Every structure is written in C-alpha cells, then in structure tokens.
Structure 1
Amino acid sequence: MSAGPAVSLRSMVAEDIPEVLALEQRLFPHDAWPEQFFHEELAHTQGERATRRYWVCTEPVEDDPLTDERIIGFVGMMCVLPLADVQTIAVAPEAQGRGLGTTMLHLVVDTARDLGAEQVLLEVRSDNDGAQGLYRREGFTHIHTRRRYYPDGADALIMQKPLTDLDAPTSASRLR
C-alpha cells in the first residue's frame, strides 16, 4: 500500500456490517448484497469447518468522536478445496489508487494457497475495466462468460488464477 494514512487489514465482524453495507450499496448500486447475506456469510467464518474468510481494510479517523477508524475496503473468499473463490472485493472511491485492492487480493490468494487451494476463481462485471485490469496484472485469466449474470443484465467474466500446475498428474489421475 502506498503512502497516506496508515491502513490496516483485520477480520470482518458482525459490527462492521452496517458500514460495509453502506459501502457496498455505494459501489454496487445495481447488484449490492442485502444485509442478511453478509450475516450469513460471516456465519460460515466460524468453527473447524469454516469455508469463508472476510476482512476489512480500515484507516484511522481523527475527526469523529464516535469511532477511531473507518472502513475503506473489504474482501471475502470462500474456500472449498480444491477451489477458492473471491466472493467480493471493494475499495471506497476516495481510497482507490493506493494499492488497497491489490493488497486485499494478495491476502485472498495467499490465504487460499495456505489452505491448499489449487486455483482461485472470481466473477467480475464485463463493464468493470479497472477490476479486470487488476486481476490480469495479478495473473488471472478470463475462462468463461456468464451472459446476463447481474440483475441489470450485465455479463460476468469468470477469471481463474492457478496456484498449482493444474495439468500435473494427481493420485486420482493415476487410477485411470
């Protein structure tokens, strides 16, 4: 992350949902997740069989007596081996251009790799050139298009980043 106010990443908690939801609605007005969906996703972050991880990116606030930090981004992933999937990634417009999206994407990829995932998948709107550029720079390739995927009719590009050699023989392939 580049110079500017000190930012930090931490696990998302239920108390973050109102602020995350406000950012979600501001960034994705046509296809924002409903509040209940965030609660359901966070429920899957707990316990031995947790399949989700969610983080918020925060920066300090000095001029607000009610809080000492504000959420300027968030990211979530689902990992059900051998796949990991970027569920969401968002950076507030006023915080874009500081490398936060890249940092959060690295966190997802590194966590997926640590969990043993063989690849990371994601969906991105076909009209979101900025996000597509980030994903391509980070080694994701377009593998499929889901036509009219989003509620407003926009297509979704499915992108993939291998974390292992997907063509390498496995114990299962040797059984054939």
Structure 2
Amino acid sequence: MTAVTSPPFVLREVRWQDLAELAAHEVELFGSEAWSLESWWGELAGRPRREYLVAEDADGIVGYAGLDHGGDVSDVMTIATLPRARRTGLGRHLLEALVARSRAAGAARLLLEVREDNTAARGLYAQRGFELLQTRRGYYPGGVDALVLALDLTTEDPT
C-alpha cells in the first residue's frame, strides 16, 4: 500500500477499520443520500474493480474518494471532503489521484456524476476539463438533476 503525501494531507488506501468512520462522515455530509456501513462493506468487497482512498491530516480523516474500474472506462464513485478541510485544495488533490489511478488502470475515459446544484464540485470538474455527457432529470431527492461528466484520458498530458 502506497501513501501519497501532499502537505498537509496523506492519501492512503481505505482499510476495513475505516468503514464505520466513513459511514458516519457520509451521514454528516450527505444526509439521506449517505452510504450506509453495509454499503461501504460492499464497496470494499468489490475489489479489485473498486478502489478507495482516504485523505488524512494530523487530526484524522478529512476526505475520501473512490473509483470503479471497468475496462477502458473508470467511474468516480465518490469524492468527499469534510467541512474543516474545504477550500484547502483537498478536493483537487483527491480528483488528481483518481485521474492518475484511472490512467494507470488503463482507462481511456473517466466518468462521474454530480448534482446540478453542487456549484463547487462542478467548478472543480470544469476546471479539470470534464465535459457534459448527459443530464439525468430529477435524479436526486428534491428533483435535482444529475449531470454526467466525462474526462478523455487519451488526449491530455499525463504529467
């Protein structure tokens, strides 16, 4: 297991012992849309196709992210940052780790889905070069649309 350091964060692979804490953070961050502890167990059991990272600082977990690798396409399963770590570059750091891992797994394209009303995430993804593939009308609770975005990993410089 390789840890990647970018002060003040360390990225490492999720361990089974992290799951209860991740499930608690999910409730804090996503409320009724949160993944349950059972969902997290299922995600980790999906290895080697599924890959999850946590970001830690001196006080513990501050964010997490995950991928599903499906041949030439990888899908972002989640990217989350705790409130105390927002506006620190952590989201970008997590996204770049997912891009690099997707490319290393042989993916030609990276897909993700984002709530239309999540302006911060949408800005990050647009800045990174993700383009709109489709809109899923009323996909999220409250009738919020889901935007399906894609990043072409074959045309950009991997450095």
Whether the TM-score (by the shorter chain) exceeds 0.5 is yes
Give the Cα separation in 1 of the matches to 2:154 and 2:10.
Answer: 29
Paired positions, count: 151
Q: Detail structure 1 runs of 4+ shifted over 3 Å in the superposition.
A: none
The one of 49, 52, 55 equivalent to 1:54 is 52
- Paired residue for 2:75? 85
- Paired residue for 1:72? 62
Unaligned runs of 5+ in 1: 62-69, 166-176
Q: What is the root-mean-square deviation in Å for CA atoms of aligned residues?
A: 1.5
Matched-pair identity in %: 40
Where 2:138 maps in the other structure, the secondary structure is coil
- Paired residue for 2:142? 152
**1:21 offset after TM fit, Å?**
1.2
**1:37 offset after TM fit, Å?**
0.9
- When Rg is computed on C-alpha atoms for both structures, the one with the higher figure is 1
Where 2:104 maps in the other structure, the secondary structure is helix
Query: Greater share of strand residues, 1 or 2?
Result: 2
The one of 7, 10, 26 equivalent to 2:9 is 7
Structure possessing the higher relative contact order (Cα contacts under 8 Å, 6 or more residues apart): 1
Query: Greater share of helix residues, 1 or 2?
Result: 2
Unaligned runs of 5+ in 2: none
Deviation by residue 1:2-29 (Cα, 9 ceiling, x = unmatched): 86xx320100011101111111111111
| 1:128-143 alignment, distance < 5 Å | 128-143=118-133
Deviation by residue 1:118-176 (Cα, 9 ceiling, x = unmatched): 100000001100000011111111111111212332211000000115xxxxxxxxxxx
- Paired residue for 2:100? 110
TM-score normalised to the size of structure 1? 0.81
